[in-house]
């Protein structure tokens, strides 16, 4: 149910797939065989206002900056699914 209007009338909404990094963590331990470590897990605030848990790709942990602009990609999971992950936009850096 929508917690604001209590509607049950659901529909899919296409999102731009862009957002900014709200927070992150570089996970070292414990390790699951399903993932490559360290795991770069992130909270991304999508431009439409939704916050999601995701991963960052295409960046070294030491270069991650909160606030950096990100765009979505899709990656396969170890069990045959697909998940959204985010890559930093090449030309953007974190806001000063």
User: Is the separation of the CB atoms in 46 and 15 below 8 Å?
Assistant: yes
Contact letters (x/-) for another protein, 59-78, by CB under 8 A? --x----x----------x-
Site for another protein in 26-45 (CB under 8 A): 26-32, 34-35, 38-39, 41-43
Least distance to another protein, CB of residue 11, Å: 20
Closest CA relative to residue 18, chosen from 40, 44, 55: 44
Burial class, 28, CB count within 10 angstroms (exposed 0-12 / middle 13-18 / buried 19+): exposed
Q: Which residues bind another protein (CB under 8 A)?
A: 3, 22-32, 34-35, 38-39, 41-43, 51-55, 61, 66, 77, 81, 83, 85
């Amino acid at each position: 149910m929508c917690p604001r209007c209590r509607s049950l009338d659901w529909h899919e909404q296409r999102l731009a797939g862009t957002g900014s990094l709200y927070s992150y963590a570089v996970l070292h331990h414990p390790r699951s065989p399903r993932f490559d470590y360290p795991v770069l897990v992130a909270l991304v605030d999508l431009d439409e206002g939704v916050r999601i848990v995701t991963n960052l790709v295409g960046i070294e942990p030491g270069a991650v900056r909160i606030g950096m602009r990100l765009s979505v990609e899709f990656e396969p999971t170890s069990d045959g699914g697909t998940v959204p992950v985010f890559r930093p936009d090449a030309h953007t850096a974190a806001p000063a």
